[in-house]
Amino acid sequence: MATSKKDIRALTKEQLRNFFVEHGDKAFRGNQVYEWLWQKSAHSFEDMTNISKETREMLENNFVINHIQVDQMQRSSDGTIKNAVRLHDDLIVESVLIPTPTRTTACVSSQVGCSLDCKFCATARLKRMRNLNPDEIYDQVVAIDNESRLYHNRPLSNIVFMGMGEPLMNYNNVIKAIDKITSPEGLGMSPKRIVVSTSGVPKMIKKMADDDVKFKLAVSLHSAIDEVRTSIMPFNATFPLASLREALQYWYAKTKNRITYEYVVWKGINDKRKDADALVEFCKFAPSKVNIIEYNPIDDGEFQQAQSSAIDMYVNVLEKNHITVTVRRSRGKDIDAACGQLANKS
Ligand code: SAH
């Protein structure tokens, strides 16, 4: 429900402590409430059982907790779970739990819709409505962690920012969410288990390097030839490959972190030897890994998964050039939970 009260989770711990001092209480009360808000993920002030009724009422009069609500949960035959998540203003985003024998990964959204216009992605058709707040990103992770414990008997182990939206176009909030996820005052997860996936916004990749972030970077490349990339990811006209590469060189020089490239091979678009050669040329400046991901059809057909011989050709060319390559199968296709299928369909 829309309200004019302030979202309490927009406050830092220091601001919350000051709020209590200004209201004639102890700063320590701020710590207690902060712990309820983040570590214990309280949905309401009433849940805060070690806080007096008076104080809870005072908080109620000043603030709201804009907690997300899992509106609908779908479970795939392969164990994948997709959540349709309702935000306080009734907009919906989706997040996905992906289990494997050794890990559980949360795929979370960073925006409602997306401002990019990748031709092969269902989310692109939704248009960007707004950025998610740090607490809305955090809540998606908590919801998946709970489901992981409930359905797979283990806590969440990894997070990928590969849901709806372009995380680097909501950089500040994504960083704040990751700070909470990795902080002992939040979920205490290791940043090494978090991957931020981007279509490639050069300026922001450099900013990440300057900020000395500890999470991993994945770049959705899909083609290392400008004309081809622009035809499937039109924003490449604004940020062409040379500027992306320059930013990635800067990233690698500063962080010494390997770069992962996400890559789909489509019939008639990027399935020729020259495409694989261009990919090798593009990524050999730094230790790289290429994840060839399966195409998840989003409609009747402009894009089609390339034949397996084309995938084999890519694998051979990359391996010959000492570039690590993995071929990844999609998960959760039967519930439209796979990469690029998130479009609030149900
Ligand atoms: N905007 C970010 C994160 C969201 S997309 C990014 O571009 O990286 C997450 C991944 O899914 C990206 O690698 C994207 O290129 C890929 N993807 C999008 N649509 C897809 C589809 N239909 N099939 C397979 N992968 C897709």
For 46, other C-beta atoms within 10 Å of its C-beta total 12
Token pair in block for residue 89: 């203003």
pLDDT of the residue at 300 = 63
Per-residue pLDDT tens digits for 121-133 = 988 888 888 999 9
Q: Residue 1: is its pLDDT beyond 60?
A: no
Block residue for tokens 């570039």: 323
Residue identifier of the C-alpha nearest atom 5 of ligand 1: 162
Q: Residue 3: is its pLDDT beyond 60?
A: no
- Are 341 and 122 a contacting pair, CB within 8 Å? yes
Q: Residue 301: is its pLDDT beyond 90?
A: no
Token pair in block for residue 102: 């050794």
- Are 124 and 55 a contacting pair, CB within 8 Å? no
pLDDT of the residue at 228 = 98
Residue identifier of the C-alpha nearest atom 4 of ligand 1: 162
221 is an annotated ligand-binding site residue: yes
- Please give the number of the atom of ligand 1 that sits closest to the Cα of 303: 22
Residue identifier of the C-alpha nearest atom 15 of ligand 1: 220
114 is an annotated ligand-binding site residue: yes
SS3 13: helix
Rounded percentage of the chain residues whose pLDDT exceeds 90: 86
Rounded percentage of the chain residues whose pLDDT exceeds 70: 98
Question: How far is residue 74's CA from residue 336's CA, in Å, rounded to a whole number?
Answer: 10
Binding-site residues, ligand 1, Cβ < 6 A: 120-121, 162, 166, 197-199, 220, 262, 264, 293, 295-296, 298, 339-340
Pairing of strands 81-86, 158-161: unpaired
For 209, other C-beta atoms within 10 Å of its C-beta total 20
Residue identifier of the C-alpha nearest atom 25 of ligand 1: 339
- The preferred substitution site among 114, 198, 220 for testing ligand 1, maximizing ligand atoms within 8 Å of CB, is 220
Buried residues in 50-87 as b, exposed as e (16+ CB within 10 A) = ebeeebbebbeeebbbbbbebeeebbbebebbbbbbeb
Best CA proximity match to 11, nearest among 169, 176, 182, 171: 176
Per-residue pLDDT tens digits for 143-172 = 999 999 999 999 999 999 999 999 999 999
HSE toward the beta carbon, residue 72, CA cutoff 13 A: 10
- Are 232 and 223 a contacting pair, CB within 8 Å? yes
Question: How far is residue 104's CA from residue 227's CA, in Å, rounded to a whole number?
Answer: 37
- Please give the number of the atom of ligand 1 that sits closest to the Cα of 330: 24
pLDDT of the residue at 174 = 98
Q: How confident is the model at residue 119 (pLDDT cuts 50, 70, 90)?
A: very high
CA of 35 to the centre of ligand 1 (A): 35
Token pair in block for residue 30: 């701020």
- Please give the number of the atom of ligand 1 that sits closest to the Cα of 340: 19
- Please give the number of the atom of ligand 1 that sits closest to the Cα of 296: 23
CA of 61 to the centre of ligand 1 (A): 42
Mean pLDDT over 95-104 rounds to: 94
Q: Residue 197: is its pLDDT beyond 80?
A: yes
Per-residue pLDDT tens digits for 63-83 = 999 999 999 999 999 899 999
Question: How far is residue 338's CA from residue 218's CA, in Å, rounded to a whole number?
Answer: 17
Least confident of 107-111, 187-191, 270-274, 296-300: 296-300
67 is an annotated ligand-binding site residue: no
SS3 133: coil
CA of 202 to the centre of ligand 1 (A): 18
pLDDT of the residue at 2 = 47
pLDDT of the residue at 124 = 86
Q: Which amino acid is at 10?
A: A
pLDDT of the residue at 82 = 94
4 is an annotated ligand-binding site residue: no
pLDDT of the residue at 120 = 94
Question: Exactly one of 136, 147, 283, 339 is catalytic; which is it?
Answer: 339
State yes or no: is 46 an active-site residue: no
344 is an annotated ligand-binding site residue: no
283 is an annotated ligand-binding site residue: no
Token pair in block for residue 201: 């916004």
State yes or no: is 136 an active-site residue: no
Question: How far is residue 34's CA from residue 40's CA, in Å, rounded to a whole number?
Answer: 9
Best CA proximity match to 27, nearest among 13, 17, 41, 16: 17
For 282, other C-beta atoms within 10 Å of its C-beta total 19
- Are 17 and 30 a contacting pair, CB within 8 Å? yes
CA of 160 to the centre of ligand 1 (A): 11
Residue identifier of the C-alpha nearest atom 1 of ligand 1: 166
- Please give the number of the atom of ligand 1 that sits closest to the Cα of 121: 19
Q: How confident is the model at residue 346 (pLDDT cuts 50, 70, 90)?
A: low
